[in-house]
Homo-oligomer: A and B are copies of this chain.
Amino acid sequence: MLFDQQFLRIPGPTPIPPSVERAMSQPMIGHRGIETSELLQSIKPRLNKVFGTKQDVLIVAGSGTAGLEAAVVNSVRPLDEVLVIVTGAFGVRFAKICEAYGIHVHRMDYEWGKAFNPEEVTRYLEQYPEIKVVFATYCETSTGVLNPIDQLGAIVREVSDALVIVDGVSCVGGVETKMDEWQIDIVVTGSQKAFMLPAGLTFISVSERAWNVIESNPNRGFYFDLTKYQNNYEKDTTPFTPAISLLFGLEQVLNLLEAEGLEEVYARHQLMMDMTRAAFRALNIPLLTEDKDASPTVTAVQPDDFDAELFRKTIKSQFGLSVAGGQEHLKGKIFRVGHMGFCSPADVLQTIAMMEIGMNRIGKEVQLGAGVAAAQQIYVKKGRENKCQFKF
């Protein structure tokens, strides 16, 4: 890019707020000193509300996949039977991690773009009572689906003692998460999505039930052994060198989330989803997912009369606007617009205005401004209904 401006609207990593950038630029501190302990003390209790849990939220230096692998190696033993609910590429990833450890994987595959059905999961568990863990994805980043994780824990518990482990990477922090109330045993997320940080931290919270399983597991690996993180958590330290700059940033992210108010943060993400979907509807461009399955953090679009890849290339070169392509068999068939983390309704309006011009440029005639107008109408309507001022 000639001009020093980029619009990062992929479904994570997201842009970093300026105050978080500044926080991350603080001088380095000793990882075993009092400053790091104080930093951890400041951060720890504030993560609970984001996860909706009274359990400790452990912080591991690593990307989201590291967190998913830690969940697997701590809670499952080789040859154990597990069920992986696959609704897209990140469901597949859970299965691959399990397979890498010789775990016996049952897969329930859903059409990409659809959410799973919790009742089908219970029927499957009734059929295979040996299954010890159910793995599910909260927001399936590859399709923009938000799976019914709120119903999964309770319904599984009715028929099975299996642990329920959830990949919340691309939505926790942007979508309400009630780990305890929903009876989820492990929730994992990463720093580079709704947490508005660079990648490099993964967060893991573990239920009492899951701790019982983990503590009796003789092989938990070394770096990923969560009991080490738990023991150090209680002493305001970490078993291995913490990623301190990211922790500086995390503290400021928590300041921002608390200043805005978590309910407002979730309402903002819902609003941005509604605005984005209304815009594509107004432009007569099909969405991959139905409204009931749609995620507040990312929208997958399935154009039927223009080339998704040419479109992506055009808006990138024209405006520096990045949206994501499709993965696996959806490659070239969809594009995905992120609206999470450091993203406001004003950013959504701008993204739509640029995309309309991009379509026009590649010969897809859309009525310029029609998508923006539809999104503006949603903003005005929801703002009034909610009697709240969206102060972004």
Contacts and interface: CB of A to CB of B under 8 A. Distances in A.
B380 A318 contact: no
Contacts of A20: 4
Nearest to A282: B369
B349 A392 contact: no
B357 A353 contact: no
Nearest to A360: B380
Counting chain B CB atoms within 10 Å of each CB, the highest count among A1, A349, A360 belongs to A349
Nearest to A390: B318
A19 B369 CA distance: 32
A216 interface: no
Contacts of A1: 391-392
Interface in A337-392: 342, 344, 346-347, 349-350, 353-354, 356-357, 360-361, 367-370, 372-374, 376-377, 379-380, 389-392
Given A317-B389, A369-B376, A346 B353 contact: yes
Interface residues of A, number: 48
Contact of A392 (B5, B369, B389, B390): B5
A351 to B, nearest CB: 9
Nearest to A374: B369
Nearest to A261: B2
Contacts of A354: 346, 349
Counting chain B CB atoms within 10 Å of each CB, the highest count among A5, A18, A19, A317 belongs to A5
A4 B369 CA distance: 27
Given A346-B354, A353-B376, A372-B373, A391 B4 contact: no
B349 A391 contact: no
A131 to B, nearest CB: 43
Interface string A241-269: 00000000000000010011100100000
Contacts of A357: 376, 379-380
Contacts of A374: 369
B7 A346 contact: yes
Given A3-B256, A3-B391, A377 B368 contact: yes
A349 B356 CA distance: 11
A17 interface: yes
Given A350-B350, A369-B370, A2 B376 contact: no
A356 B372 CA distance: 11
A211 interface: no
A320 interface: yes
A320 to B, nearest CB: 7
Contacts of A260: 2-3
B350 A353 contact: yes
Given A4-B17, A349-B354, A391-B1, A373 B369 contact: yes
Given A369-B369, A373-B368, A380-B357, A319 B392 contact: yes
11 contacts: A1-B391, A4-B19, A7-B346, A318-B389, A320-B392, A346-B350, A346-B353, A346-B354, A349-B349, A350-B350, A361-B380
Q: Which 6 A-B pairs have the closest CB atoms?
A: A369-B373, A350-B350, A4-B17, A349-B353, A368-B376, A3-B392
Interface of A: 1-5, 7, 17-20, 25, 256, 259-261, 264, 317-321, 342, 344, 346-347, 349-350, 353-354, 356-357, 360-361, 367-370, 372-374, 376-377, 379-380, 389-392
